[in-house]
Homo-oligomer: A and B are copies of this chain.
């Protein structure tokens, strides 16, 4: 729907246009009514997604991994020996856009392209040792800082239910 992206110091805190005060004395125009907006699935879904990505980036600040990069590393680790097309399309990334992404990861020595001997057109993707180490650390950060936060907020059971519902939407909607 809307809402900013980068986080850090998002100067446009949504749903909080009139400063975050606890009802100071000043006149201060009343807050706007969200109305039906707050029950619009797309609206709340987008906002939640931005918040989650924000938090993810903060958690990963030390490793400098974006959600997309993390997903690539995870998928390559789980499916070593696959080529760019396979990894990219599984993640919904278009091949042309995957090139720069891999250039980045490869320049940081996190993964490597290897010319396949079977099909000399394709590049087999593998994690480097450094890539495996970084991914391992990333997983720990995600578990301890990211998922833990969600468990605090919703509780373990609800968190699992949420992910299941989102998966259902992602797959069957």
Residues of A within 8 A of B (CB): 1-4, 10-15, 17, 29, 32-53, 55-56, 67-68, 70-71, 74-75, 77-79, 82, 85-94, 139, 142, 146-147, 149-150, 153-154, 158-159, 161-163, 165-173
Contacts and interface: CB of A to CB of B under 8 A. Distances in A.
A36 B92 contact: no
B90 A15 contact: yes
Contact of A79 (B33, B139, B161): B33
A-side interface mostly: helix
Contacts of A56: 42
19 contacts: A12-B89, A15-B92, A29-B86, A32-B79, A34-B90, A35-B77, A35-B79, A36-B74, A37-B71, A38-B167, A39-B163, A41-B166, A47-B92, A47-B166, A50-B170, A55-B173, A154-B169, A161-B161, A162-B166
